[in-house]
Structure 1
Amino acid sequence: MTRTLRVFRWSPGEAERTREYRVEAARDTTVLDALVEVQRSQDPTLAFRYACRVGMCGSCAVVVNGRERWACRTRLGDLGAGAVRVRPLYHFPLLRDLVVDLGPHAERLRRALGAFTPRAGAEPYARIAGDSRERAAIDEAIECIGCGMCVSACTLVAPNPRFPGPAALNRALTLQLDSRDGAGAARWGVLLGEDALARCHGQGTCTEVCPMGLQPTASIIRLRWLGLSRLLRWTG
């Protein structure tokens, strides 16, 4: 079966354009398989990113037919009979073709104090038991692999560059509920500012595209409730 790919192309100094390729595909051929075939047999200049090829690392994240997806997990046979449109993730600086710079993603995490900071006086190897209530409270939010798909799908990232984005806020929830972390007070200063939790519109597009099944929208709502409780304690 012959399938048509319409792939976004761009490199520094050139205009954005779409290039069309045709590939032979079986039922189980993935978008990543097709891109690799194009690069090997038709156009070695095509740039895209991938690593594991088995749905573990998230590095092959792109937008396929208007929706953020892992190229290695998306089968051409599941996309209907028409041409398959492939473009890079939104809201990230372009490097070339389908490759984006994930540096801003790391910067958003940094601004939201997304790094674990050991609490003063805590045991150096303190552990949270897997069957504890504390672990259960964050269990649904800890499997983020940093692929950037939720940031691409978010409608708030582009108009407000100070908004941390869903991945950073999801990470913040896991840290605010971690008894070993010592940066909670400083992190609340960021989260309760005008450009963080208050900016999310709750549309849920981040949750819809998360390949790990996480729910950043729910994490943001939980943070709002925790933040409200904190503010009420201050004013009570």
Structure 2
Amino acid sequence: MKINIQRQSVVTYDVDVEGATLLEMLNEIKRSQDPSLAYSSGCRSSVCGSCSVRVNGREVLACSYHAKDGDLVEPLRNAVLLRDLVVDMDMAYSFNAKAKAWQSSLAENVSLSIENQYINELQSDCILCASCYSACPVYAVNSEFLGPFSLTRVWRYVSDKRESNPKSKIDAVQTNGVWDCTLCNECTIVCPQGISSKADIEKLRAKSSMFGYMDPSFGNFGGSFNDGSPVF
């Protein structure tokens, strides 16, 4: 079986292993053919997210993807390439701070119903693989976009009944945030946990409207008559 790996150029390896995961193939290449090959891995159980790469143009976890003859393996996009299939994820993680993607303060004496407890359970399953970050096309035109990775985490806390100041988080995602997303759904397609960042961003937009925000691009469709009254 031949596997093509994007390094400084595309290198083809012939591996005598069938039915293996991509991570097992990479391990075999490193063990028996090329010890210089660099890639990331951790739990080998689709839990840690560290082995995410692109195969044939689609983000996958190497430990769960079963390799096929002729596959092209590349590093994640929208991140600084360190070596071979290893990228620096500091930029992706830094957007969490800009988006205030954490529990800032807990309201006192709040009791949670069963529905409250499960409303953001799926978002809490994020394994930080950054597949959505890599798949997002917005970074081609806006490198400061907060991105699906961080915006899903914002919704996780905005939707938490115990969060005492959700407005501060909504305020933080108005610039380079919820209105910059194209709602293309690429992030949802590649998420190994089945999280829909697109849906979360739509809910953040609705919540933004409740706090008096609106899509700034709407202003581009307006104008005014000679008397100064607005055109809608």
Range of TM-score over shorter length: 0.7 to 0.9
The superposition leaves residues 42-65 of structure 1 with CA deviations (integer Å, 9 ceiling, x where unpaired) of 110000000111111111000011
Alignment match, 1:8: 6
Structure-2 separation of matches of 1:54 and 1:149 = 16
The superposition leaves residues 55-86 of structure 1 with CA deviations (integer Å, 9 ceiling, x where unpaired) of 1111100001111000010112xx4xx41110
C-alpha RMSD over aligned residues: 1.7
1:135/1:35 CA distance change after superposition, 3 Å: same
Report sequence identity in percent: 31
User: Normalization by structure 1: what TM-score?
Assistant: 0.85
Letter in 2 for 1:42: Q
- Computing the radius of gyration from Cα coordinates, the structure with the larger value is 2
TM alignment of 1:189-208, pairs within 5 A: 189-193=171-175, 195-208=176-189
The superposition leaves residues 180-219 of structure 1 with CA deviations (integer Å, 9 ceiling, x where unpaired) of 22442221212223x2111111100000000001111000
Determine whether 1:18 maps to 2:10.
yes
Alignment match, 1:13: none
Pick from 121, 136, 145 the counterpart of residue 139 of structure 1. Answer: 121
Alignment match, 1:224: 205
Determine whether 1:171 maps to 2:153.
yes
1:102/1:216 CA distance change after superposition, 3 Å: same
SS at match of 1:198: coil
Pick from 87, 106, 121 the counterpart of residue 74 of structure 2. Answer: 87
TM alignment of 1:41-190, pairs within 5 A: 41-76=32-67, 79=68, 82-119=69-106, 122=108, 128=112, 131=114, 133-190=115-172
Structure-2 separation of matches of 1:206 and 1:189 = 23
The superposition leaves residues 133-173 of structure 1 with CA deviations (integer Å, 9 ceiling, x where unpaired) of 22232233221111000000000123212210001000101
Structure-1 separation of matches of 2:165 and 2:9 = 46
Which segments of 5 or more consecutive residues in structure 1 lack a partner in the other structure? 10-15
SS at match of 2:172: helix
User: Normalization by structure 2: what TM-score?
Assistant: 0.86
1:89/1:118 CA distance change after superposition, 3 Å: same
